[in-house]
Structure 1
Amino acid sequence: MKQREGSPFSGLAAVALKEAADHMASARMHLVMLLVLLTAAGSIYGAIGQIKDTVGQDQFLFLRVFTTAQQPLPSFVTFLGFLLPLIGIALGFDAINGEYNRRTMSRILSQPIYRDALLAGKFLGGLTIIGICLVTLWLLVTGMALITLGLPPSGEEVARGLAFLLASLFYAGVWLAVSMLFSTLFRSPATSALAALTLWLVLTLFWGMIAPLAASAISPVDPYNPLTLISQAEWAHDLARLSPATLYQETIQALLNPETRSLGLVFMSQLQGALMGTPLPLDQSALLIWPQFSGLIAAMIVIYTIAYVAFQRQEIRA
């Protein structure tokens, strides 16, 4: 076997920039972002109407803009948690099999570009577009709140908002990696999109019902032993965290609600001496969400690695 020459990531920047430019000009990206902007504008308008009377009474007023809901619209973070996977799937479901169907894969790899750079460039290009969209959306929301409420955000609110953006980027990156994995495994873009959407529906909508059922099977409750009830609840909580949606929800809960002091089961003995309702500083909130945050990063890396291995094993013909 001939040893390849040069860096395996030669041409990475060119592929990433080309992918980002294609996504920016694509009609599907425009439609998805229009949907996100419309839903975000509705939820933010409702939230500002709810919290306008609390100006001067809440030290984290800007964070309430992201988490406050007004019926029938949910909060901004609820909309974002629902739509970010759709953006990731829309950007990656035909990243690899689209090249096969257009018969351009062999032409690309005939250039001084290795498979490593091609796959990584496509992933980074999609992640860059998601990052640009999130920053733009966050600035628009902050601007709307600033104009309407007439108060600037504090330094801690800005820091928590940026941490929220970073968590949202990695959450979308998980679903981008999932869609690229299915794009690598299936030659039909329709099949890869359907597989990614099916997994998203299972982990987002149905996993909250599956986890308690699995926990009851793993650790049944003994009516004569109350500790088994605690064990089953812990199992249900741990199984629920296998879903990226649960990890993301817990992360933004601690970041955007500084009063959150725990993300698991809390017993009365643990509340002794605690000042309930007192907000945690940012560094303590960061320690609280570190397992969830690192879990999102690990899930993104693991799924991308599986896609990388599958892509390296594929035979490419002219």
Structure 2
Amino acid sequence: MVEKECGDHFRSWRFGILMAIIVLACIGSIYAAVTAIRSGDAAAKDASGTSDTFLFLKMYTLTSSSLAVPSFSTFLSWLGPLIGITLGFDAVNSERNKGTLGRLLSQPIYRDDFIKAKFVSALFVITVVVFSLGFLVMGLGLFTIGYPPTPEEFLRIIVFLLMAVIYIGFWLNLSILFSIRFRQAATSALSSIAIWLFFTIFYSMIINMIDSATAVAQTAAPETQLNHINFILTLNRISPTELFSETITTMLSPGVRSLGPLTMDQLVGAIASPLSLGQSLLLIWPQLTGLLAATIICFGLSYVLFMRQEVRSRV
């Protein structure tokens, strides 16, 4: 079943069109990064504080000051959810509307194998797409920079791509959940896109309004100001987009040493140097756990809802 579903995804027209758009965007971001590196404004456009020893990672985070093109990591955070939504919004309701779901489940197969095959096949396709794009950037970086990445840079890129798969897998599970809940594919697609737009655009606006409404005075006690900052950070981290943004910023920018407020006591004696891979993983472990938990919850809800649904053949 997984092999059949993977073949259907790879041969579909919508997958080809979506991949063409993503590859073009990827090439544009690579060109912008190469232009920034060659023009010498890499340090000015990179807010991570990394040194030239991590120049290879800048292929994924840099953009040129003369080109209005986002970086590769920004493109992946924007267009990645569309891949998951495209592969999952009609995973179940299309089979139901065509009348093939009842005939398929009447065969000697377990019902849960159907929903698991839908998820595994789509996740496999997402993994192939993400790693292909990531290695494309790596290959063009080898051609442009002229030297290979260090072992730590290579491992950071691999972890970044794995986190991108987890992030897109969340949107895949969410779209599959709506595909089970709604009978019309258009309704499930619009519901998934609405939630994606809410967390990508409107959620930050709401948090900014809450921040303005609950702002404390500058003369308030440091503990009060710190509690307010942590409260706003907690609200921001409800969004999976914010969690993914923090993880890729830390993995691709070794100079990032903290994802929250720092006090003067914490800064005294600190050495301004990039973090190791292990320290960066410890820093983003809560964000990565949150993304995994959200993905598992969506899959669990999809599984339970599908197992309890009545399946009838189309008359």
Same fold (TM over 0.5): yes
Given that 1:250 and 1:289 are in contact with CA atoms closer than 8 Å, whether structure 2 keeps it comes out as: yes
1:176 to 169, 172, 177: 172
In structure 2, the partner of 1:24 is 10
1:160 to 156, 165, 173: 156
In structure 1, the partner of 2:129 is 133
2:242 to 242, 246, 249: 246
Q: CA deviation at 1:213?
A: 3.1
In structure 1, the partner of 2:186 is 190
**Partner deviation per Cα, 1:107-132 (whole Å, 9 max, x = no partner):** 11011222211111100100000000
In structure 2, the partner of 1:282 is 277
The letter for the 1-side match of 2:54 is F
In structure 2, the partner of 1:291 is 286
Q: CA deviation at 1:262?
A: 0.4
1:62 to 42, 56, 60: 56
Q: Distance in 2 between matches of 1:47 and 1:210?
A: 32
**Partner deviation per Cα, 1:175-222 (whole Å, 9 max, x = no partner):** 0001001001100000000000000000111111212434566x5536
SS in 1 for 2:53: coil
Q: TM-score, normalised by structure 1?
A: 0.91
The letter for the 2-side match of 1:69 is T
The letter for the 2-side match of 1:34 is A
Cα RMSD (Å) of the superposition? 1.6
In structure 2, the partner of 1:12 is none
In structure 1, the partner of 2:20 is 34
Q: CA deviation at 1:268?
A: 2.2
Q: CA deviation at 1:141?
A: 0.8
For the pair 1:82 / 2:68, whether they are aligned, the reply is no
Q: Distance in 2 between matches of 1:230 and 1:285?
A: 23
The letter for the 2-side match of 1:228 is T
**Partner deviation per Cα, 1:122-151 (whole Å, 9 max, x = no partner):** 001000000001111111111111111111
Q: Distance in 2 between matches of 1:170 and 1:83?
A: 14
The letter for the 2-side match of 1:245 is T
Q: Distance in 2 between matches of 1:132 and 1:223?
A: 50
Higher alpha-carbon deviation: 159-168 or 104-113: 104-113
Given that 1:220 and 1:228 are in contact with CA atoms closer than 8 Å, whether structure 2 keeps it comes out as: no
In structure 2, the partner of 1:258 is 254
**Partner deviation per Cα, 1:244-263 (whole Å, 9 max, x = no partner):** 11010000011000011001
**Partner deviation per Cα, 1:48-100 (whole Å, 9 max, x = no partner):** 12113669x71111100000012301111001100000000000000010111
The letter for the 1-side match of 2:62 is T
In structure 1, the partner of 2:45 is none
Higher alpha-carbon deviation: 87-96 or 207-216: 207-216
Q: CA deviation at 1:267?
A: 1.9
1:200 to 196, 200, 204: 196
Q: CA deviation at 1:309?
A: 1.2
The letter for the 2-side match of 1:26 is S
In structure 2, the partner of 1:45 is 31
2:118 to 118, 122, 125: 122
In structure 1, the partner of 2:68 is 72
**Partner deviation per Cα, 1:148-171 (whole Å, 9 max, x = no partner):** 111111100100000001000000
Q: TM-score, normalised by structure 2?
A: 0.92
Given that 1:215 and 1:235 are in contact with CA atoms closer than 8 Å, whether structure 2 keeps it comes out as: no
SS in 1 for 2:103: helix
Task: Give percent identity, aligned residues only.
Answer: 45
In structure 2, the partner of 1:310 is 305
The letter for the 2-side match of 1:249 is S
Q: Distance in 2 between matches of 1:147 and 1:223?
A: 51
For the pair 1:147 / 2:143, whether they are aligned, the reply is yes
Higher alpha-carbon deviation: 108-117 or 21-30: 108-117
Given that 1:37 and 1:137 are in contact with CA atoms closer than 8 Å, whether structure 2 keeps it comes out as: yes
Question: Structure 1 pair 259/110, CA: closer, same or farther in 2 (3 Å)?
Answer: same
